Amino acid sequence: MAKKKTKFVCQECGYESAKWMGKCPGCQGWNTMVEEFDQTAKSSSRSYVTSANQGAAKPQSITKVESEKEPRINTTMVELNRVLGGGVVPGSLVLVGGDPGIGKSTLLLQLSSKLAEQKQRVLYISGEESVKQTKLRADRLNLSTAELYVLAETDISFIEKAIDEVDPVLVVIDSIQTVYQEEIASAPGSVAQVRECTAAFMKIAKTRGISIFIVGHVTKQGSIAGPKLLEHMVDSVLYFEGERHHTYRILRAVKNRFGSTNEMGIFEMKELGLEEVLNPSEIFLEERSQGVAGSIVVASMEGTRPVLVELQALISPTSFGNPRRMATGIDHNRVSLLMAVLEKRVGLLLQNQDAYLNVAGGVRLDEPAIDLAVAISIASSFRNQVTNPMDVAIGEIGLTGEIRRVSRIEQRVNEAAKLGFKRAIIPEKNIGGWSVPKDIKVIGVSTLEEALDAVLGG
């Protein structure tokens, strides 16, 4: 009898080795290498995109291929539709990740109920909760519809039979780490099981046109557990973020074959589940302090949506040889760069000052259009000069201290005017070519010094 080949696979990143190692060379994790049987010879992952007419397909010119608009299933959840690119695409496989207890199961159960209310048959499969526990969750969320079917199962062969019987338009798998194939000797949640089960679900989604949402656990670093191949196989990867001790949750797409990855959906966790936040700017600004130095509002773009958030800075003399630079919600390296520009081009002596920056509301801002607001908040705190609470700052800063043009300036200023702001400090190059709202005054600046003069009076 032929000897079975074994290998050691990292359960965090999927790194494979012929021998056991205490520390994984791939992700530097300790004690993550687990022995598994080599399934290469009979792996089913090669055929996860097989179709009914495989073998008959022939190469054809792209000019002769008819382009069709992808049909979408409206979830009636505006925020989720935005993140997905307009709705759920039939036959798509979507991976949803997030910290434990953040609300992934609640979100998907609400999605299932919304579709079931439209007479769309939905199958919710839980490998972590019994059917009665799922029913209790649905009762707590006040969800009840006959077209929503629930099942507690982890064997993928029984799951496929249930999908055949119910014939749903949407299937939710909660979670992929609990599902297993009997043919694979590894335990549920191992790299081999996660890879092969995801391949099987991909085949079901593509051949039958069923949309499948799978929940993925995350590692301590916040990335989805299992091999990176898992994110490559699926059509969309959504991350559900937020602090467990705060009520607001943010849904982001880090991969989306059917839409943009720049969109953001915001929800608020309430007693009856997740409620959509249609105007996040009001939420992020409702607790803003006025008459305090180091605070300024910036208009940032999250995909096609302008969001106004408050930037806060605290500059204080350092007690150590090397000053501290701490930033929450923005890039730490970008803060250091802007402080160097302030010191060199404006003359602020910041080399002996500790700097602490924060984006209120727990939002992550990555675009360069927030540079001007960061610099103004730092200068305001350093000089202890209060900014006008009716000002909003928008602009990118170059190393020579110039204020550079930003995109979508009209949407940003319109959002600021809608929320009652009276002045917008924007790049000089962005003035002209668009209509300014009548209730807001636009001030164009070309250098950082001009911007500080306009906001802080020199």
pLDDT in tens, 313-347: 999 999 888 899 999 999 999 999 999 999 999 99
The secondary element (H helix, E strand) that includes residue 350 is none
Burial of residue 288 (number of CB atoms within 10 Å: 0-12, 13-18, 19+): middle
Both structure tokens of 31: 């004690």
266 is in an annotated binding site: no
260 in the same domain as 153? yes
81 in the same domain as 34? no
25 is in an annotated binding site: no
132 in the same domain as 224? yes
Residue 1 maps to a domain: no
Residue 180 clears pLDDT 50, i.e. is over it: yes
CATH number at residue 96: 3.40.50.300
Residue 219 maps to a domain: yes
Torsion of CA 174, 266, 75, 201, to 10 degrees: -30
270 in the same domain as 294? no
Question: What whole-number distance in Å separates Cα of residue 148 and Cα of residue 133?
Answer: 15
Q: How distant, in Å, are the alpha carbons of 9, 38, 173, 319, 395 from that of 12?
A: 9, 18, 21, 40, 40
Q: What is the pLDDT of residue 317?
A: 93
Residue found by looking up tokens 């199961």 in the block: 105
85 is in an annotated binding site: no
**β-pair partners for 34:** 9
Residue 54 clears pLDDT 70, i.e. is over it: no
What range does the domain containing 434 cover?
283-456
Residue 208 maps to a domain: yes
Q: What is the pLDDT of residue 149?
A: 96
DSSP state of 90: T
- Which of 255, 278, 301 lies at the terminal end of a domain, its last residue? 278
Q: What is the pLDDT of residue 45?
A: 44
Q: What is the average pLDDT across 394-422?
A: 94
Residue 56 clears pLDDT 90, i.e. is over it: no
Residue 165 maps to a domain: yes
pTM of the model: 0.76
Residue 28 maps to a domain: yes
- What radius of gyration, in Å, describes the C-alpha atoms of the chain? 26
Residue 326 maps to a domain: yes
102 is in an annotated binding site: yes
CATH number at residue 349: 3.30.230.10
Number of domains, the chain: 3
Residue 69 clears pLDDT 80, i.e. is over it: no
Q: What is the average pLDDT across 40-60?
A: 54
Residue 46 maps to a domain: no
Q: What is the pLDDT of residue 225?
A: 62
182 in the same domain as 90? yes
220 in the same domain as 266? yes
Residue 66 clears pLDDT 50, i.e. is over it: yes
In the chain, what percentage of residues exceed pLDDT 70? 91
141 in the same domain as 229? yes
Residue 398 maps to a domain: yes
363 in the same domain as 270? no
458 is in an annotated binding site: no
When mean pLDDT is compared across 55-59, 85-89, 190-194, the lowest value belongs to 55-59
In terms of pLDDT, which residue wins out, 188 or 356?
Answer: 356
216 in the same domain as 299? no
301 in the same domain as 265? no
386 in the same domain as 293? yes
362 is in an annotated binding site: no
- Which of 231, 258, 278 lies at the terminal end of a domain, its last residue? 278
Query: How would you classify the pairing of strands 423-427 and 391-393?
Result: parallel
Q: Which of 433, 442, 446 lies closest to 405, judged by CA?
A: 446
- Which of 218, 253, 278 lies at the terminal end of a domain, its last residue? 278
- SS3 category, 142: coil
305 in the same domain as 249? no
Residue 133 clears pLDDT 70, i.e. is over it: yes
